[in-house]
């Protein structure tokens, strides 16, 4: 009996020790981060900064794999299919809040297969107008559009910026023509040349014509001002909260990843977010750096879902224009 009792105690001790030992060894090989955005895009640039710092922190290579297409669902599907605790997903909140509204039969369950690990960044989004449109405020913009229904053209980044601005036009009874693009670089060129008059997209995708004096920013459409544009007010500050978008992005794990491992990765990501040098580099690329917590990512996604529910009552988000 004494020997049997000792064996049981030893077994219990090993059971508690082995998971911790395994955790201490993670990662034991290359970590892959799947990104559903093209190389060189703002979100791709941000995650590569995280990958570089995390690689040094973890002592193993951290590689970024770009899998683009189909509103980001190709990349997410690739991540879900991996079922590997050394594969992470870096994506925007829209992969959970928007994708189910756009695709009838996703190959994955956003709530089951995408387990939030930590927030990371919020891409800075702007409302920019061509300089030929002689307006310097949103009320002036509304006045000009109301006086010239159907005369002007707008474009946007995909999904949330498009939905929110289309709903804004509907709320205010305004009529504009929507221009769709496949090439993300072309809209800012057309904004500068006056072929489109309004562009609602990321800071990095609209900055060039503003710097050239061919366009101007009317507002930041994030909840907070941008570090690189401290004097440009937010749409909420300007009393147009219906234009607000939280462009948050973060890290996700698969459904088989343990809570303990997600917690450990989240702790490391939070440390990266708190690093002043990392913050400067990411902000210079057109992002706001978040706190790096799971709660922040979950709360942001919940807000997006509620906001999209309201927008979906105003417009057909599958054909927003």
In order along its 321 residues, the chain shows pLDDT tens digits of 455 544 454 555 544 444 444 456 899 999 999 999 989 888 999 999 999 999 999 999 999 999 998 878 999 999 999 999 999 999 999 999 999 998 888 999 999 999 999 999 999 999 999 999 999 999 999 999 999 999 999 999 988 999 999 999 999 999 999 999 988 789 999 999 999 999 999 999 999 999 999 999 999 999 999 999 999 999 999 999 999 999 999 999 999 999 999 999 999 999 999 999 999 999 999 999 999 999 999 999 999 999 999 999 999 888 888
Q: What is the pLDDT of residues 183-210, one digit of tens each?
A: 878 999 999 999 999 999 999 999 999 9
3-state helix, strand, coil in the chain (%, to 5): 50, 20, 35
CATH 3.40.190.150 segments of the chain: 29-123+246-311
Q: State pTM to two decimals.
A: 0.88
**Using CA atoms, how far apart are residues 148 and 134, in angstroms rounded to an integer?**
13
Query: 29-123+246-311, what's its fold?
Result: D-Maltodextrin-Binding Protein; domain 2 (3.40.190)
Query: May I ask the CATH class of domain 125-245?
Result: alpha beta
Please report the pLDDT score of residue 4 as a whole number.
55
CATH 3.40.190.10 segments of the chain: 125-245
Please report the pLDDT score of residue 320 as a whole number.
81
Q: Cα dihedral angle (35, 40, 42, 45), rounded to 10 degrees?
A: 70
Please report the pLDDT score of residue 24 as a whole number.
63
Instruction: Tokens 């307006």: give the residue.
Output: 135
Please report the pLDDT score of residue 8 as a whole number.
52
**Using CA atoms, how far apart are residues 90 and 34, in angstroms rounded to an integer?**
6
CA distances from 7 to 4, 16, 20, 107, 149 (A): 5, 14, 20, 47, 82
Please report the pLDDT score of residue 5 as a whole number.
47
Please report the pLDDT score of residue 21 as a whole number.
46
Q: Are 93 and 252 spatial neighbours (Cβ–Cβ below 8 Å)? A: no
Count of CB atoms situated within 10 Å of the CB of 103: 13
Q: What is the pLDDT of residues 273-296, one digit of tens each?
A: 999 999 999 999 999 999 999 999
Cβ-based burial of 287 (10 A; exposed 0-12, middle 13-18, buried ≥19): buried
């Amino acid at each position: 009996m004494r020997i049997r009792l000792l064996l049981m105690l030893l077994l219990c001790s090993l059971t508690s020790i082995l998971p911790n030992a395994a955790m201490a060894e993670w990662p034991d090989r290359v970590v892959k981060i799947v990104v559903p955005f093209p190389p060189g895009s703002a979100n791709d640039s941000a995650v590569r900064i995280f990958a570089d710092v995390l690689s040094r922190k973890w002592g193993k290579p951290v590689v970024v794999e770009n899998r683009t297409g189909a509103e980001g669902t190709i990349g997410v599907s690739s991540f879900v299919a991996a079922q590997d605790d050394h594969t992470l997903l870096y994506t925007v909140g829209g992969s959970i809040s928007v994708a189910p509204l756009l695709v009838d039969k996703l190959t994955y369950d956003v709530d089951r297969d995408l387990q939030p690990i930590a927030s990371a960044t919020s891409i800075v989004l702007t409302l920019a107008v061509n300089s030929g449109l002689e307006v310097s405020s949103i009320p002036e913009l509304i006045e000009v559009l109301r006086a010239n229904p159907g005369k002007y053209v707008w474009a946007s980044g995909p999904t949330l910026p498009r939905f929110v601005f289309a709903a804004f036009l509907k709320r205010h009874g305004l009529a504009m023509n929507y221009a769709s693009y496949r090439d993300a670089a072309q809209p800012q060129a057309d904004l500068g040349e006056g072929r489109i008059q309004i562009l609602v997209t990321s800071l990095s995708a609209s900055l060039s014509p503003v710097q050239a004096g061919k366009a101007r920013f009317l507002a930041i459409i994030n909840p907070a001002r941008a570090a690189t544009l401290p004097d440009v007010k937010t749409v909420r500050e300007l009393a147009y909260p219906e234009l607000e978008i939280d462009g948050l992005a973060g890290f996700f794990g698969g459904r088989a990843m343990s809570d303990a491992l997600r917690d450990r990765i989240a702790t490391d990501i939070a440390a990266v977010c708190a690093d002043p040098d990392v913050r400067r580099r990411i902000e210079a690329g057109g992002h706001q750096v978040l706190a790096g917590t799971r709660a922040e990512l979950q709360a942001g996604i919940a807000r997006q879902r509620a906001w999209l529910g309201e927008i979906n009552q105003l417009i057909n988000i599958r054909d927003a224009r």
